[in-house]
Amino acid sequence: MDGARSFRELKVYQAACEAAGRIFAMTKSFPRKERYALTDQIRRSSRAVKAMIAEAWARRRYKAACINKIDEALGEANETQSWLDDARDDEYLSKEDFEELDDRYQAIGGMLSRMIDCADDFCKHGPATDYRSVLRVEEESPFADH
């Protein structure tokens, strides 16, 4: 978290991206009858994890809003694990594939929980910050003409 300049640099975001990619690849072999049910649900929840992490990053100025988004990401990670249970029970995933994905989401959940526990460190400024007195650091725009 120290020195991260974008949500894309967060290890938890990178882990969520990789896990969502694995889910997408593995669900390609799910039966067609699951296309608008299990397949869509597990893809949606797995992608929502990383989207909520990105939203939390954008809202890190406000601790409560940031924690709320991280908590939503944690909920989506747990929902993904629930859909993985269904995929395993219906024998759409091998035991090995299930365990690999479940372990990934367990680790992501742990990282998200630690982010909530350490929100004061993660959020942009401390809880008592008066934002009227915070100096804005001007950076050169990547879109400026050179």
pLDDT at 123: 80
pLDDT at 5: 83
pLDDT at 31: 95
pLDDT along the chain (146 residues), means of 10: 78 98 97 94 98 95 93 98 97 96 98 93 64 53 53
Contacts of 20 (CB under 8 A, 6+ apart): 43, 46, 47, 49, 50
Cut 0.75: pTM above it: yes
Q: Is the dihedral of CA 56, 133, 2, 127 positive or negative?
A: negative
Domains of the chain: 7-133 (1.20.1440.60)
The DSSP-derived string for 71-122 is: HHHHHHHHHHHHHHHHHHHTTSS-HHHHHHHHHHHHHHHHHHHHHHHTHHHH
> CA geometry: angle at 32 spanning 27 and 33, to 5°?
110
Q: How far apart are CA 101 and CA 93, in angstroms?
A: 10
pLDDT at 58: 92
pLDDT at 1: 42
